[in-house]
Amino acid sequence: MIAELGLFALILALLLAIAQGTLPLIGAARGDVALMAVGRSAAFGQLFFVALAYAALTWAFVTDDFSLRYVATHSNSLLPTQYKISGVWGGHEGSLLLWVLILSLWSAAVATFSRSLPREVLARVLGVMGLVAIGFIGFTLFTSSPFERLLPAAMEGRDLNPMLQDPGLIFHPPMLYMGYVGFSVAFAFAIAALIGGRLDAAWARWSRPWTAVAWAFLTLGIALGSWWAYYVLGWGGWWFWDPVENASFLPWLMGTALLHSLAVTEKRGGFKNWTVMLAILTFSLVLLGALLVRSGVLTSVHAFAVDPDRGLYLLGFMAVVVAGSLTLFAWRAGKVGLGGSFGLVSRESALLTNNVLLAVSAAAVLLGTLYPLFLDAFGLGKISVGPPYFEAVFLPLMLPLLLLLGFGPRLRWKQDSPTEQLWRLRWILGFSLVFGMLWPLAVGSWSLLAGMGTFLGLWIIGSALKDLVERLRRRPGSTQGFGTRVKRLGRSYAGMQIAHIGVALLVIGVTFVLGYDDERDVRMAVGETVEVGGYAFRLDALEHIDGPNYSAEQATVAVYRDDGRRLATLRPQMRDYFSQDMPMAHTSLHRGLFRDLYVNMGEPLGGDAWVMRVYTSRT
C-alpha cells in the first residue's frame, strides 16, 4: 500500500508540474489572469503530493518495510531510528526524492513570498520552475523510483552504508540540496526576465534575496560536508578535490559571482547580460553536478548511481535546459543596453574583476574534473588529476581576489582614487603584513604559505572592521543614535561583511593546515608511546564493545603535552557492522581553537598491536 500511495502521489505531482510549467506561461503571453493564477495553486498542490510521497517512503523505512527494494537495500531492522529517517536520502532514489521535495518547497516559497511581484513576472517564474520540476519528477518516476517492489519481500535489509551512519548524513545532504536546488529560483527569474524582455534593475532586485539564501545554504552544506569528510574518511585534510566535491564547489564559485553581479545590476543597472548569463551558468553547473554524481561516470565515495540510462536522461535534460536557455539569451541579449560607464578604479571594476576571477577559477576546476573523463571516453588513456593540479592553478587565482576583498567594498561607484584608499588603509595593510609574517614564528617554524594566509586573512578582517567602525561613527551635526546607525547598515551589508570575514578565517585555517599539519602511520602496542607534532600519544588499552548494529575494537589513547601534562584521551574505533562485511574506522578527535588532534585505527598487527594514523594540525 505504501508503494502504491507514493507512486500515485508522484504521478499527481507530475501532472501539477505540467500544469505549473505550461498554463502560467501561456497566461502571461495572452494576458489571461486566470491562467496566470494557476501557477500558485499548482505549486502548492505539487508540494503537497511530493511531501506525501516522501512521507510514505519515510514510513516504509521506519517500519522496516523490506518489500520495497530501496528500503531493503539501504536499511536494516537494527539500524538506529535517526539513521532510518536520514537513510531515506542515503541512496540515489531517495536522495532524488529529497531533491524533488526541496524543489517543490522553493516553488511554494516563491508563490508565497512573491505576491507583490507583477502578475506576469510571478507567472513566468513559477512556470519556469514548473518546467524544471517536470524534468526531475519525471526522472524520479521513469528511471529512479524508490517505490519499486521486491517480490518476495526480503527478510532483512542489507543496511545503510556504514560510512553514512553518522550525524553528518542528517544535516549535510538537506543543506546542500537547499543550496543546489535554490539556484533554480535565480535561474527562473533570469529566464522570466528574458521571456518578458525586461532585463532592468527590477528583476535583479527580486532575484537577489533568493540567490543569497540559496548561496548561504550551499555554503553551509559544503562546510558540513567538508567537516564530515574530515573526521569520517580518515585523511585529515580540509579539501580532497574529489570530483564529486568539485561538483558542489563549481556552482558555489559561479553562484558567488552571480551574487556580486546582481548587486551591480540592481544598484547601477550594469552587467545586465552578464548577470543573466551567470544565472544560466550557475544552474547549468548544478545540473552538471547531478549528472556527474548520478550517472556512474565517476568513481567516488560520494557518487550514487551507476546506471547509464539515468545518465542519458540527465544528459538529455541538461542539454534541453542549457540549449534552450542560451538560445533565448542569444535572442534577447542584443536588445539590452550596456548600462552606465564606470572608471578603471571603481566598485563596478572591482566587482567585474571579482566575477572574472571566480569564473576563471570555476573553469580551471571544471577542466581538472572533466579532462580525465574525456580522455577515458575517447580511449586516450586513464589519468588522475589530484590536489597538485588544483592547488597549482586555483590558489594563484585566489591571491588577487583576496587582496581585492579588502579594497572592493570600500570603493565608490563610478570612480574612485586608488591613492586615497591606500592611504586610508595604510595602517591596516602594514599591520596585516607585519603581524601576518611574524605569527607563524610563534607556532614554531616560519612558513611562507602560513604567513601569506595570515596576512590576507588579517587584511580582509581589518579592512572590514575599519569600514564598519567608520559607518557606525557619529558624523558631525548628526542626531542619529547608535541603534539607528546600526539599522541603516542593512541586512545586505551585514551579510557581506560576515561572508568576507568567514572567507578570511577560512584562508588562515587552510594555509596553516597545509603548512603545519603532521600526519603519520605508526605501529602502536598497549603501553607504547609515539611523538607526533610535539605531542606524545600513548596507547593505554584495547577493548571490545558492542553497538546497536555493530561490534567494535576500541583503543584508548592518552595524549600528553611536551611538558608531560595530560591533555586529552582519544577513543578511536574499528567497527564491524553485522549486516555487511565492511570494517569502518571511527575517528576520535580532540578539537581546540588553534589545533586539532586526530587518531584513526588502521589494521591489526596481531596481539595487542595496531597500525594507527596520528594527525596534528596547528594554527
- Do both 83 and 126 map to the same domain? yes
User: How far is 200 from 23, CA to CA, in rounded Å?
Assistant: 25
Residue 479 lies in a domain: no
- Asked if the bond preceding 152 is cis, omega within 30° of 0, the reply is yes
Model pLDDT, residue 336: 61
Between 504 and 579, name the one with better pLDDT: 504
**Three cell numbers at 410?**
570600500
Quick one: how far is CA 61 from the chain centroid? 27
Q: What is the mean pLDDT of residues 237-262?
A: 87
**Three cell numbers at 419?**
591613492
Residue 480 lies in a domain: no
Q: What is the mean pLDDT of residues 123-145?
A: 95
- Do both 109 and 194 map to the same domain? no
Residue 484 lies in a domain: no
Residue 68 per-residue DSSP state: B
- Do both 182 and 265 map to the same domain? yes
User: How far is 286 from 180, CA to CA, in rounded Å?
Assistant: 6
Reported as a single tens digit per residue, the pLDDT across 264-309 is 888 887 788 899 999 999 999 999 988 888 766 555 545 555 566 7
- Do both 453 and 563 map to the same domain? no
User: How far is 223 from 270, CA to CA, in rounded Å?
Assistant: 32
What CA–CA distances, in Å, run from 41 to 108, 427, 500?
Answer: 9, 58, 40
Contact 544, 553 (CB under 8 A): yes
Residue 607: how many CA atoms within 13 Å on its side-chain side?
Answer: 6
- Do both 149 and 191 map to the same domain? no
User: How far is 567 from 520, CA to CA, in rounded Å?
Assistant: 20
Reported as a single tens digit per residue, the pLDDT across 95-120 is 999 999 999 999 999 999 988 899 99
Residue 89 per-residue DSSP state: G
Residue 483 lies in a domain: no
Last residue of a domain, one of 395, 410, 425: 410
Show the DSSP H helices in 473-490 as ranges.
482-489
- Do both 154 and 175 map to the same domain? no
Q: Is the pLDDT of residue 484 over 60?
A: yes
Q: Is the pLDDT of residue 556 over 90?
A: yes
**Three cell numbers at 132?**
524544471
Residue 45 lies in a domain: yes
Residue 148 lies in a domain: yes
User: How far is 413 from 350, CA to CA, in rounded Å?
Assistant: 10
Model pLDDT, residue 226: 84
pTM across the whole model? 0.91
Q: How much is the mean pLDDT over the chain? A: 87
Last residue of a domain, one of 386, 410, 434: 410
What CA–CA distances, in Å, run from 101 to 84, 104, 311, 561?
Answer: 18, 5, 21, 50
Which stretch of 70-84, 99-113, 579-593 has the lowest confidence by average pLDDT? 579-593
- Do both 593 and 504 map to the same domain? no
- Do both 274 and 403 map to the same domain? yes
**What are φ and ψ of residue 588, in 5° steps?**
-115, 130
Model pLDDT, residue 391: 80
Contact 147, 3 (CB under 8 A): yes
**Three cell numbers at 65?**
518495510
Classify burial at 384, counting beta carbons within 10 Å of its beta carbon; exposed 0-12, middle 13-18, buried 19 or more: exposed
- Do both 469 and 360 map to the same domain? no
Residue 526: how many CA atoms within 13 Å on its side-chain side?
Answer: 10
**Three cell numbers at 221?**
552544506
Reported as a single tens digit per residue, the pLDDT across 179-230 is 999 999 999 999 999 998 877 788 899 999 999 999 999 999 999 888 887 7
User: How far is 142 from 162, CA to CA, in rounded Å?
Assistant: 29
- Do both 71 and 208 map to the same domain? no
Query: SS3 for 557-590, per residue?
Result: EEEECCCCCEEEEECCEEEEECCCCCEEEECEEE
**What are φ and ψ of residue 576, in 5° steps?**
-120, 115
Q: What is the mean pLDDT of residues 80-108?
A: 94
User: How far is 150 from 153, CA to CA, in rounded Å?
Assistant: 5
Q: Which helix (H) or strand (E) holds 276?
A: helix 272-294
**Three cell numbers at 301?**
565515495
- Do both 243 and 258 map to the same domain? yes
Residue 149 per-residue DSSP state: B
Q: How many CB atoms lie within 10 A of CB 507?
A: 22
Residue 482 lies in a domain: no
Classify burial at 396, counting beta carbons within 10 Å of its beta carbon; exposed 0-12, middle 13-18, buried 19 or more: exposed
**Three cell numbers at 355?**
566575477
- Do both 446 and 573 map to the same domain? no
Q: Please, which pLDDT band fits residue 370 given cuts at 50, 70 and 90?
A: confident
Q: Is the pLDDT of residue 19 over 90?
A: yes
By residue range, what is the domain housing residue 238? 168-335+342-410
The two most distant CA atoms of the chain are separated, in Å, by 83
Model pLDDT, residue 545: 92
Contact 347, 355 (CB under 8 A): no
Q: Which helix (H) or strand (E) holds 496?
A: helix 491-516
Q: Is the pLDDT of residue 507 over 80?
A: yes
Task: Output the CA torsion sign for 169, 307, 184, 27.
Answer: negative
The top-scoring range by mean pLDDT among 120-134, 320-334, 382-396, 407-421 is: 120-134
Q: What is the mean pLDDT of residues 464-486?
A: 75
Model pLDDT, residue 496: 87
Residue 194 lies in a domain: yes
Model pLDDT, residue 335: 66
Number of folded domains that form the chain: 4
**Three cell numbers at 250?**
563549481
User: How far is 403 from 526, CA to CA, in rounded Å?
Assistant: 50
**Three cell numbers at 51?**
511531501
